[in-house]
Amino acid sequence: MLRAAGCVFAEDEARLLVSAARNPGELTALVDRRITGMPLEHVLGWAEFCGLRVAVDPGVFVPRRRTEFLVRRAAALARPQAVVVDLCCGSGALGAALAAALDRVELYAVDIDPAAVRCASRNLATVGGQVFEGDLYEPLPVTLRGRVDILVANVPYVPTEEIEVLPAEARIHEARLALDGGADGLDVLRRIAAAAPQWLAPGGRLLFETSEHQAPQAVEALAGNGLSARVARSDEHNATVIIGTSRT
């Protein structure tokens, strides 16, 4: 049934669904959800990310495997006991992965979507992360200003006119605000870059993902706000990450 529905990795998905179902009736229900287009992660209720099983509620953005490259770059740049902020946190996958990779982080996460905040709160509870609902930096404690060592942001970067050509799994089942980056896909990133110098510690880093063709504009956005910027590219993950560093 999964193969007929066009699932590329039908055998792997079938094994996961069988292991998740407690009885034949539940298995039938899970398969039905999947073949109607619901993302596998929403059907299962979790996604594998950086070796972790991260809860993903219906409607919440599913963490992509390519974003593991961003986490690895951030972890390599973090100092011990770093102050970490995860903006546009979705399920909290980036924050959870960094907390697992680093020693005793002070972790904060923010999302504007109440469903994402509830999901992230569960995922980050065991690592002591604090999750806030609101628009980017707005709900963060003011005591974090000038103290953030690692600021990661899984920003929406799909241009508005391209939303309708996304795969149905994303277009229908994930919140539009987690995908839509405005006319050129960089609206949210520009807002994050504009305020980042106020929040980053001296030498603190801002890391986010873009498409390869957006990278030059993203670098300009950081440079225009006083951050030095460089591009990291992984062919293995098909990922482009911009790394900005505070100069003060």
What pLDDT shows up at residue 232?
97
What pTM value is reported for the model?
0.92
What pLDDT shows up at residue 49?
97
Strands (E), the chain: 46-49, 52-55, 83-87, 106-111, 130-133, 148-153, 200-210, 227-234, 239-246
What pLDDT shows up at residue 168?
79
What pLDDT shows up at residue 86?
98
Architecture field, domain 65-246 = 3-Layer(aba) Sandwich (3.40)
What pLDDT shows up at residue 36?
86
Taking the chain (248 residues) in consecutive chunks of 10 residues, what is each chunk's mean pLDDT?
87 92 92 90 95 95 95 95 97 97 94 97 96 98 97 94 86 88 94 97 97 96 96 95 92
What pLDDT shows up at residue 202?
96
Q: Show me where the domains of the chain are located.
A: 10-55, 65-246
Run of H or E residues at 44 = helix 40-44
What pLDDT shows up at residue 5?
85
Contact at 8 Å (CB) between 18 and 27? yes
